[in-house]
Structure 1
Amino acid sequence: MTELTRKWTADRIYDELRQGIMTLDLYPGSRVTETELAQRFSVSRTPVREALQRLAVEGYLTIRPKHGCYIRQLDVFELAEYYDVRVGLELEGVALTSQRVPYRELAQLADDWDPRKLMYGSEGTECFKDAEEAFHIRLASLSGNMVLVQYLKGVNDHIRIVRRLGLPDTESVIKTYEEHHEICQRILANDLAAATNVLRAHIHESQTKSREVTLVQLEARRRLREEEG
């Protein structure tokens, strides 16, 4: 097998497993093994191992040597604490950005999220969800504090699954455009109070919707597993 083919196979396995985790088809806490997955995808264990290691680094699962891999559990109380940290980090990032106001970068970020353009589409696709998460990292990066950015990325690794479930419909997507755009415009207008108010409300609403959708999805998956079992 060539290096190119091996790499493509690992990426394909990663994408499918990640999708299964994100949609809760791979139920939180469930166990998977390299051998089982190798049989499922009709490949050797090497690309499976690469895919699992990548998922582990990104926080989707835990690898326990000689025991297998366990899909990350979803603890709504722990997730709430991560959201609290996220709010603190992002608000501090905005405060630092408002002191230096990188106009060109902020204007570009605002333009990318102009609700009249719908640059990332009007549906909650994977592309849109990637862009939504990237917006907050881009905004934090404008603070000039890369330590803050790294901490925010770490928090995102822990809340990514529920965060993406909180974008289930077009209405949520359009509102995300509007709020992202307004946050940038408020900073550009040197209105820090308004920018932080919009950002705080934006994150808290996302948290609430994500929690509601997650609980519903978990219950539906639990019942399905019981029926199949």
Structure 2
Amino acid sequence: MNFKPAHLLEAFNGSEGHEQGERIKRISVSQQIQESLRSRIISLELHPGLGLSRGEIAKHYGVSQTPVRDAMMKLEEEGLLTIYPQSKTEVSKIDVDQARETQFLRLSLELEITRKLALEKASGSTATARKILSLQEKALSDGLLDAFAALDKQFHLSLFQSAGVANLHALVESRSGHIDRLRNLNLPDPGKASNILKYHRLILDSIEQGDARACDEAVRAHLSGTLEKVEQIVARNPEYF
């Protein structure tokens, strides 16, 4: 899963950005490396158990080892790397218990967010999510699962933003490394992506209709899918756990 979903994501980001003005993201070199490594770990390009060399990574990014060390320490705090002092650094195995914990947090937040949006029935609160859903449908029809997964994150972020709690999405993301890797192992399974689209539609329909109960049911069903399949996922990929 190495496809970079540029054209779909640029289509979305471009349509949102021209009205608001272009935003320049200023982050340190170590943060850039952290984000890049995190993305490669989540996508399973850097698979669980893989040994990483600080020197080789520094050479890959064309930097000194100092920002690489700082990035690795941050990733260790997230639980995505295991650093053995004076020995080695490995991509952490997937921790199912930690994935369940993060899912509990995410479910709790998204139930409240969608309930809030449904009860308020705020005009335009689902407009961005609807645009993203259309792009997800296009990504799936083109067989672009990387684009689909990236847009999935944008879909959920848009709901947090509509509810005025975007910073809480960043909190969830900082703890999502293990559950995200589980999802990426589950996403290619037959019917999984179509099922995601089905629940995204149900969530938006329920919000627009002001039906908080239907929102609750759709969110619970949507967010439970991967963990319901965890035994099969582990059985297929025992070396990752």
Q: TM-score, normalised by structure 1?
A: 0.71
Which letter does structure 2 place at the counterpart of 1:22? S
- Judge conservation of contact 2:132–2:154 (CA < 8 Å) in 1: no
CA distance, structure 1, for counterparts of residue 140 and residue 54 of structure 2: 36
Which one of 89, 92, 111 corresponds to residue 72 of structure 1?
92
1:26 aligns with 2:47: yes
2:137 maps to 118
Aligned residue-pair number: 209
1:157 deviation in Å?
3.8
1:62 deviation in Å?
4.4
1:18 deviation in Å?
4.6
Q: TM-score, normalised by structure 2?
A: 0.68
In structure 1, list runs of 5 or more residues that go unmatched.
1-6, 223-229
2:164 maps to 144
- Judge conservation of contact 1:62–1:69 (CA < 8 Å) in 2: yes
- Judge conservation of contact 1:21–1:27 (CA < 8 Å) in 2: no
Structure 1 residues 202-213: aligned runs within 5 Å: 202-209=222-229, 212-213=232-233
1:153 aligns with 2:173: yes
CA distance, structure 2, for counterparts of residue 118 and residue 63 of structure 1: 40
Shift in alpha-carbon separation, 1:68–1:27, aligned structure 2, 3 A: same
2:194 maps to 174
CA distance, structure 1, for counterparts of residue 129 and residue 164 of structure 2: 15
1:111 deviation in Å?
4.3
1:207 deviation in Å?
2.3
Shift in alpha-carbon separation, 1:149–1:62, aligned structure 2, 3 A: same
Local SS of the residue matching 1:69: strand
- Judge conservation of contact 1:140–1:149 (CA < 8 Å) in 2: yes
Q: What is the percent sequence identity of the aligned residues?
A: 22
Local SS of the residue matching 2:138: coil
Which letter does structure 2 place at the counterpart of 1:101? K
CA distance, structure 2, for counterparts of residue 215 and residue 81 of structure 1: 21
In structure 2, list runs of 5 or more residues that go unmatched.
1-28
1:226 maps to none
Shift in alpha-carbon separation, 1:216–1:139, aligned structure 2, 3 A: same
